[in-house]
Amino acid sequence: MPLKKIHRFSFLAPLGALLSLVALAGCGQAPSDAAAPTSSPGRTELRFAHAHSPDVAGELHFTAVAFAEALAKISDRHTAKIFAQGTLGSEREVYEGMQLGSGASLTVSGTAILNNFDQRIGVVDLPYLWQDFAHVHRVLDGEVGRDLAAGLEKQGIILLTWIDGWGFRNLITTQKAVTRPEDLKGLKIRTIPTPVYLAALRLMGANPTPMAYGEIYTGLQTGVIDGFEQAPAILIAERFYEVAKHLTTSRHLFPAMVVCYSKAHWDRLTPDEQAKVRQAAEAARDQGRALAPLREAEALKTLAERGMTVHPIDTTVWQQAAIKLQDQLAAERGATDLLKKIRAAAKP
């Protein structure tokens, strides 16, 4: 897999320019004219870590860049420096460091890794739970989101805001096309190594295969795995279309994501500084949400143009089977009450 140059941002152009960068990011490379990090006299630099490539075609780096831009505008005390592609460690290592008050001050990630710190958050990752983006926002911006944030705070992690993944997660395979549920049977599909994700793929008939994120490309290339599951925009940012030729629109999981801050670092900020950091995170959230449905549609089109075959599939069997699994997994996590609220927020 070709190495990607890492860009770290302390600021970016205004929103209009940022959106232009995203439009150009379909090439899968970080912008070549991105500004190098700068230090402003009298400002403290916040270390912002994430695991993905430094490419605004992906929602993690886009969020980090948008946060850095917003913070630079509203704060005269802080700037943000981005450490992409696991530079400060794996997602779990970053969160564990944040609990201890070392390493990064903040990070953006999916919620799956946070099951290691508060298993109730696994309720948002249940298969075939979410109707659409609006359903997600109604729930996570409300009581359920606040409840889960309170649980993480007890673990030393401040959840600043919920953000959208740029599209539902789909099945991606190298050789075998999955056009019917039975086609997935026995295929080795890489997924995030958490009980919820593993159970979801078993439900669908796959052989779930945990693997570090950074090993996926080589695993696909060498045949160690038959495929993986991910949102379409990430396939472009990480160039996975080079080694995987089939995408099946299973839409089995919604990638809820979070921007989180180390509570140990948070407690050192003044209330005004905390408010500005949260404001910057919410600005990044709003920009990403505005783009999410567009990026999902654009990514599917771009992947087809780059040689992938996109297969529709009837997911009725999986959706019906998922109801029982949702009940089981929510009960195991003490989150049955949250599951009821999520279901109640769905449109009839």
- Confirm whether 10 is domain-assigned: no
Crossing angle for the helix pair 59-74 and 271-305, to the nearest 10 degrees:
150
Structural domain boundaries enclosing 40: 15-166+256-294
The reply to whether 271 and 334 lie within a common domain is no
- Confirm whether 1 is domain-assigned: no
Q: pLDDT class for 88, splitting at 50, 70, 90?
A: very high
The reply to whether 263 and 245 lie within a common domain is no
The reply to whether 83 and 134 lie within a common domain is yes
- What is the number of domains present in the chain? 2
Give the tens place of pLDDT for each residue, 169-198: 999 999 999 999 999 999 999 998 888 999
Residue 266 main-chain phi, psi, to 5 deg: -60, -40
- Confirm whether 66 is domain-assigned: yes
The reply to whether 316 and 215 lie within a common domain is yes
* pLDDT above 60 (res 4): no
Please tell me the predicted confidence (pLDDT) of residue 241.
96
- Confirm whether 239 is domain-assigned: yes
Average pLDDT, the chain: 89
* pLDDT above 60 (res 10): no
Amino acid identity at 196: V
Give the tens place of pLDDT for each residue, 202-253: 999 999 999 988 899 999 999 999 999 999 988 998 899 999 999 999 999 9
CATH number for 57: 3.40.190.170
Please tell me the predicted confidence (pLDDT) of residue 42.
76
Please tell me the predicted confidence (pLDDT) of residue 21.
44
